[in-house]
């Protein structure tokens, strides 16, 4: 087999392996990715205190940490929390909050990442969490109408 065909075959096999890993739920990240230093896939949402108010962010139930990852294909309350932030904080006004991380959520996230100066890869991870603005709420649960930065290094 000629060298150029071997290179093409290697790239194809690497892409197939990465796709299979994602389908199986195994996260593959690189040091420069938005998901670097993540504790795993986000599988819930939680309130995070910001002064006398709170924000709602995706988190990992097993560790109780908010430095987790979301990507296309994810679903649930973690995705809804992200979609709500993208919608309410002027990153994607028309985005539907449905809890499914599909192509529209991915595109909205890429735009938000671009606006906030982080890698625009459409993957939600610790770097994106800190960079995004999040809708804030009073302790009563009423929205303040403001979008605030996430405190870094927090646990719910």
For residue 6, the enclosing domain spans: 1-28
Q: What is the C-alpha separation between 84 and 102, in angstroms, rounded? A: 14
pLDDT at position 37 = 54
Kindly state whether residue 154 falls inside one of the protein's structural domains.
no
Joined tokens for residue 13:
């096999």
CATH number of the domain encompassing residue 144: 1.10.101.10
pLDDT confidence tier of residue 94, bands split at 50, 70 and 90: confident
Q: Are residues 76 and 131 in the same domain?
A: yes
Q: Are residues 58 and 121 in the same domain?
A: yes
> For 96-136, what is each residue's pLDDT tens digit?
999 999 999 999 999 999 999 999 999 999 999 999 999 99
Q: What is the C-alpha separation between 48 and 14, in angstroms, rounded? A: 38
As a whole number, mean pLDDT of residues 68-77 equals 96
As for how many domains the chain has, the answer is 2
């Amino acid at each position: 087999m000629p060298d150029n065909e071997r290179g093409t075959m290697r790239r194809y096999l690497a892409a197939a392996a990465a796709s299979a890993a994602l389908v199986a739920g195994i996260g593959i990240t690189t040091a420069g990715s938005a998901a670097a230093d993540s504790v795993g896939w986000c599988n819930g949402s939680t309130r995070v205190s910001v002064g006398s108010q709170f924000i709602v962010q995706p988190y990992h139930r097993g560790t109780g940490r908010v430095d987790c990852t979301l990507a296309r294909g994810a679903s649930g309350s973690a995705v809804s929390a992200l979609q709500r932030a993208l919608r309410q904080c002027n990153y994607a006004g028309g985005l539907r909050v449905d809890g499914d991380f599909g192509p529209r959520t991915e595109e909205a996230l890429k735009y938000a990442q671009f606006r906030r100066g982080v890698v625009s890869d459409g993957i939600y991870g610790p770097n994106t969490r800190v960079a995004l603005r999040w809708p804030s709420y009073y302790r009563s649960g009423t929205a303040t109408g403001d979008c605030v930065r996430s405190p870094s290094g927090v646990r719910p």
